[in-house]
Structure 1
Amino acid sequence: MDIQSERRRLLDEEDGDQDPPGLLSEQDAYLSKVKNRNLYLATLACVLGPLSFGFVLGYSSPAIPELSRIADPRLRLDAAQASWFGSIVTVGAAAGGLLGGWMVGRIGRKLTLMFCSLPFVSGFVVIIAARSVWMLYAGRLLTGLASGVTSLVVPLYISEMAHERVRGTLGSCVQLMVVLGIMGAYLAGLYLDWRWLAICSSVPPTLLMVCVCFVPETPRFLLSQGKRREAEQALRFLRGPDAPVEWECARIEDACDEQSASFQMSDLKDPGVYKPLVIGVMLMLFQQMTGINAIMFYAENIFERAHFKESDLASVIVGLIQVVFTGVAALIMDRAGRKILLIISGVAMAISTTAFGVYFYLMSGLPSRAGEEPHADLAWLALASMAVFITGFALGWGPIPWLVMSEIFPSKVRGVASAACVLTNWSMAFIVTKTFQDLMGLLTSAGTFWLFSSMCLLNVLFTVAFVPETKGKTLEQIEASFRGSSGPNIPHGRPEPV
């Protein structure tokens, strides 16, 4: 039987099956023949991008204190320059999100992923060779550009090549590798100066360029370009030799056929477009309004202000906690579901930032009352509050907004809509990180953390009211649900098989 005849037979069987459990059994029968080995290897290759991104985020925490004390006046950072050094990454990342949204549609997911390594390495080379503060800014801006492209393309790549049984787990690996990179930068910063730390940080993106050469383009992108044979080859690589990939290929192809037209502004009237777009943008907005990037960028400074003696070691402990609980989130993502983890995460962060605010409030009152330095008795509260915050963030609001972004958009707007989400995320990250020190002065340390706490409560309310559960659904089923259909395919009718 040829491919077209097989496709017609499968589609006819699907049309004749009106019983949802029967359809699910058909999916289960297919997935039972899938081997995930190559899928895991491909994921491991592409998450070197988020690992590089994590080193960029973590680099400023050990580097800023050292650059603030450096003997060379050309490189010494004052308070304002340190603020820019920490936050300018987000400016580059916002631009990278727009660039990545254009690139994934034009040259594909794989080539975009390979491109990411170039500004990563170039940026760290500029930092290593820096002879002025402006060179430090330029290097951070380049690594930020790469981070923005990476934060868009890697979740998209993983969601399009993974099947629904493991998509949540593999999608959570993006955030896991980011926090591994952050912890790696913190740990290396204990032993390396800022230049050697930059050299260390350039290793993961170099490996990324090499490893991505051996993974395929995503089947969905290939089918959207009319390359069915290449799509089947990619699926056969990802699903193993025993899986009847023609079945999955036909289902994806139908969705691509329905969305062959390019994105138009009039598409924003479609509930299947504007509903997921609003949800995706709001998830990114709320993620940054928790204050996570400000807290990670200035982790050592926060502990110094909290009078924690070993501030650099405390930052490493925080990074380790984030790695452990992001790994836990990855393991339970496809069992617990996205929505419940977001709610648990938001509540934990609200409690911890409230406690952190209380700590700073108590500490600010002690000197005026006792006439002495704040006691170290409550230093444990600072570390415990930070640990609970990072644990909560790692379980939900860290990985899930990126995962949901990669799941909910229709294929024809996936690049544009993902770019809007990434631009929102990094624009808010810039605003929060750039104004963090000013907020600490204006609202006091306690008031700033109480502001973050109120944002975490808003996160919870938004999740309960608007965020859908995507656990166990194919990308086509998720898309159909936004259009008011429970079917597995896009509910505008299916083109007749040729």
Structure 2
Amino acid sequence: MDRDDVSRPLLGSQNDDELEHSSYLDKVKNGKLYLATFAAILGPLSFGFVLGYSSPAIPDLRRIPDPRMQLDPEEASWFGSVVTIGAAVGGLFAGWVVDKIGRKLTVMFCAMPYIFGFTIIIAAQNHWMLYLGRIMTGLASGITSLVVPLYISEMAHERVRGTMGSCVQLMVVTGIMGAYVGGLFLGWRWLAVTSSVPPALMLVLMCFMPETPHFLLAQGRRAEAQEALRFLRGPGASPEEECARIEGAMQGQGNSLGWSDLKDPVLYKPLGIGIVMMLFQQLTGINAIMFYAESIFEKAHFKRSDIATVIVASIQVVFTALAALLMDRAGRKVLLILSGVAMTISTAVFGVYFWLSNPNHSGASVPGPTQPDLAWLALASMGLFITGFALGWGPTPWLVMSEIFPTRGRGLGSSLCVLTNWASAFIVTKTFHNLMDVLTSAGTFWLFSCLCAVNILFTIFFVPETKGKSLEQIQAHFKGVRHS
């Protein structure tokens, strides 16, 4: 018998399955999926308000006449940075909670430290209440950065998962911009009141949203999973076929992890990719660019640095929204590569800017351009960098993290990725001045440029394209099983 005669029925079966699944997706109505996504992304919106809150609040708190509340430069630094401590703890804690009580309840749970944290800030009478409030909102931010991408990826089907998942980062930068804009008109207490509204609304709306089908099936709650799918896909789409696909991918996985599972390529490959992507996201130099943003605008003769920060945040919102629209069309890898190229060029130009700004090229590590006509170079490179970051390396690592882990490993794997992100952000921020002392400002940004170039190579050779693939097909990729 001809070998091709054997393979044709198998290929035909695979093609029939794909056609059947495509026909199923054609019947899907996404209205309630969008509603559930909206309820969940109020968490990242709250996260953005937390990140953006310190920028307008610190100037107010430094001018306040009450000595119990007034912040000196060192205290202001702690007020801005203790969020990362809470976020690292929250990300680690969320990996355990999300597998114990489920995705929906974890989203609801993270609303509480947001509300309590901002309430403590509103009622603050001393520095320690301010710090406690910031730590609690940081804890909530760490939980949010893990559970919301996971919740959305397990609810959404492959035709819209990229767009839905990209809304996480879109809402983060929208929240940052909201805090900056609010800071133009509101004092620090009223800004905290405003910042507590999104998590309160999220808590209410999530009461009416379903748990994810993947989690319910992993718990053996098939009837509830079918009800969740009926809610998310609409009455015209029967959930049986999707339930069967999810259960097929879960066969042989078990419900718990052991050390032996680390030898399974379905776990260790995505874990390696996710951790390196989170590390590279911070090594792009995003915090360094944002650190210099205010001084760059001042050198460009912007009179109001607070308005300048709103402009920067607006650029991030616009291009993160564009990334969300392109994610399911262009694909993850294309956007990551384009993003890496833009950031490689812009950080290299930043290095040139700092080098030319020193008339003696003496290697001084403190940026202080003495040639006003060079301001356009800094503004152009900053605009290109923020655009590039927002298009790819801002939203995509969080989306890919939520897609690549098997069901039984999503809590642990996502937790380690989030911990890597926050820890590397802390390390890069704390060592930034030391790098400038050793390498000079120009050398530091050239180092970031080289690391962005490495990002491109890593994306080309190691990051899988997940556009248009179901979560089950992505797991099959790491198993080495071919899917048509």
Fold-level match, TM-score > 0.5? yes
2:479 maps to what in 1? Answer: 483
CA contact (8 A) 1:325 1:395 kept: yes
The structural deviation recorded for 1:173 is 0.5
> What SS class does the counterpart of residue 237 from structure 2 fall into?
coil
2:194 maps to what in 1? Answer: 200
Q: Which residue identity lines up with residue 54 of structure 2 in the other structure?
A: S
CA contact (8 A) 2:91 2:142 kept: yes
1:31 maps to what in 2? Answer: 25
CA contact (8 A) 2:358 2:369 kept: no
Q: Of 449, 453, 462, which aligns to 1:453?
A: 449
Structure 1 stretch 126-135 or stretch 292-301: which is displaced more? 292-301
Q: Of 376, 382, 402, which aligns to 2:378?
A: 382
Q: Closer, same or farther in 2 for the Cα pair 1:389/1:373, shift >3 Å? A: closer
Structure 1 residue 322 corresponds to structure 2 residue 302: no
Q: Closer, same or farther in 2 for the Cα pair 1:194/1:297, shift >3 Å? A: farther
CA contact (8 A) 2:274 2:400 kept: yes
Structure 1 residue 411 corresponds to structure 2 residue 407: yes
2:4 maps to what in 1? Answer: none
Aligned counterparts of 2:430 and 2:108: Cα–Cα separation in 1: 30
2:430 maps to what in 1? Answer: 434
Aligned counterparts of 1:213 and 1:168: Cα–Cα separation in 2: 25
Aligned counterparts of 1:59 and 1:48: Cα–Cα separation in 2: 16
The structural deviation recorded for 1:24 is 1.9
Structure 1 stretch 50-59 or stretch 447-456: which is displaced more? 447-456
Q: Of 112, 119, 127, which aligns to 2:113?
A: 119
Residue-by-residue CA offset, 1:164-217 (whole Å, 9 max, x unaligned): 000001000001101100111111122222222222111111111111111100
Q: Of 144, 147, 167, which aligns to 2:138?
A: 144
> What SS class does the counterpart of residue 365 from structure 1 fall into?
coil
2:470 maps to what in 1? Answer: 474
2:153 maps to what in 1? Answer: 159
Aligned counterparts of 1:373 and 1:402: Cα–Cα separation in 2: 36
Structure 1 residue 422 corresponds to structure 2 residue 418: yes
CA contact (8 A) 1:101 1:419 kept: yes
1:171 maps to what in 2? Answer: 165
The structural deviation recorded for 1:352 is 1.4
The structural deviation recorded for 1:299 is 4.2
Mapping of 1:93-492 within 5 angstroms? 93-296=87-290, 299-300=293-294, 303-304=297-298, 308-365=302-359, 374-437=370-433, 439-440=435-436, 443-487=439-483
CA contact (8 A) 1:123 1:143 kept: yes
The structural deviation recorded for 1:456 is 1.3
Q: Which residue identity lines up with residue 221 of structure 1 in the other structure?
A: F
Residue-by-residue CA offset, 1:401-454 (whole Å, 9 max, x unaligned): 011001100111110011000000011112223344554555444343333222
Structure 1 stretch 29-38 or stretch 87-96: which is displaced more? 87-96
TM-score (norm 1): 0.89
Q: Closer, same or farther in 2 for the Cα pair 1:124/1:302, shift >3 Å? A: farther
Aligned counterparts of 1:444 and 1:125: Cα–Cα separation in 2: 43
2:5 maps to what in 1? Answer: none
Residue-by-residue CA offset, 1:273-331 (whole Å, 9 max, x unaligned): 10110000000000011132454467435644776433221211111111111111111
> What SS class does the counterpart of residue 359 from structure 2 fall into?
helix
Aligned counterparts of 1:444 and 1:367: Cα–Cα separation in 2: 10
CA contact (8 A) 1:57 1:297 kept: no
The structural deviation recorded for 1:465 is 1.7
Q: Closer, same or farther in 2 for the Cα pair 1:466/1:290, shift >3 Å? A: same
The structural deviation recorded for 1:346 is 0.9
Aligned counterparts of 2:235 and 2:333: Cα–Cα separation in 1: 35
Structure 1 stretch 306-315 or stretch 102-111: which is displaced more? 306-315
The structural deviation recorded for 1:381 is 2.8
* Count, aligned residues: 471
Q: Which residue identity lines up with residue 338 of structure 2 in the other structure?
A: I
Q: Closer, same or farther in 2 for the Cα pair 1:194/1:446, shift >3 Å? A: farther
Structure 1 stretch 65-74 or stretch 200-209: which is displaced more? 65-74
Q: Closer, same or farther in 2 for the Cα pair 1:168/1:253, shift >3 Å? A: same
The gaps in structure 1 that reach 5 residues or longer are: 1-14, 489-498
- What value does the CA root-mean-square deviation take over the aligned residues? 2.3
Aligned counterparts of 2:357 and 2:188: Cα–Cα separation in 1: 32
Q: Which residue identity lines up with residue 465 of structure 2 in the other structure?
A: E
1:3 maps to what in 2? Answer: none
The structural deviation recorded for 1:390 is 1.1
CA contact (8 A) 1:161 1:219 kept: yes
Q: Closer, same or farther in 2 for the Cα pair 1:299/1:115, shift >3 Å? A: farther
The structural deviation recorded for 1:461 is 1.6
Structure 1 stretch 418-427 or stretch 453-462: which is displaced more? 453-462
Aligned counterparts of 2:248 and 2:177: Cα–Cα separation in 1: 43
CA contact (8 A) 1:306 1:360 kept: no
Structure 1 stretch 291-300 or stretch 171-180: which is displaced more? 291-300
Q: Closer, same or farther in 2 for the Cα pair 1:285/1:220, shift >3 Å? A: same
Q: Which residue identity lines up with residue 467 of structure 2 in the other structure?
A: K
Aligned counterparts of 2:203 and 2:288: Cα–Cα separation in 1: 30
> What SS class does the counterpart of residue 114 from structure 1 fall into?
helix
